[in-house]
Structure 1
Amino acid sequence: MRKDKERDDSDDFGGMSLASMVLMLALVALSRPWETLKHLFKLVLWLGRRLLRLVLFPFRWAALVVWSRRADRRPTFEDFLHGDEEDRDPS
């Protein structure tokens, strides 16, 4: 009985080793430098927008919470006492 050899993990890309795959991708990228730069620029812009959205998320969340609480605010007794004084022009 013949034992089958287990498959090599480094041989996952269509029979090519990982080093050969990296070499082929590098050669393709170097053969078309402007197209490669264009795609890299798109990738960098996409990552930048994604990072900016992630960084700004807590601030947007806080603004939404403050805005929603302000919209639901009922007039207080202080508002009744002062009336429209704050809205009038002091001059």
Structure 2
Amino acid sequence: MSAAHLGPRIPLPPPAVASPECDSTVKLNGGSVCGPLAEEAQAMAVDARIRELGNRHRTLDEQIQREVTRPTADSLHVRELKQRKLRIKEEISALEARV
């Protein structure tokens, strides 16, 4: 099939180029935010993630406490819960270092 049969050419939008005055752009609700607002939005997202991970960490701690107080505690299950709790703590520490 020749190019004449494909119809008119539609120009492609230019490639995205980072603005020299904005080194922090965040996608928000289908648009982009640049500058201090982008940094604030990103910090808020990180804070929300830290809070969510903190909640998971507390929940795992509660599960561990319940498991170890059972007469027939499953040591393998307790170990897995503790490993998950440690991974979450490490992720929290890494995120806090970024903020």
Q: TM-score, normalised by structure 1?
A: 0.36
Asked which structure has the greater RCO (Cα within 8 Å, sep 6+), the reply is: 2
**TM-score, normalised via structure 2 length:** 0.34
Q: Which protein has the larger Cα radius of gyration, Structure 1 or Structure 2?
A: 1
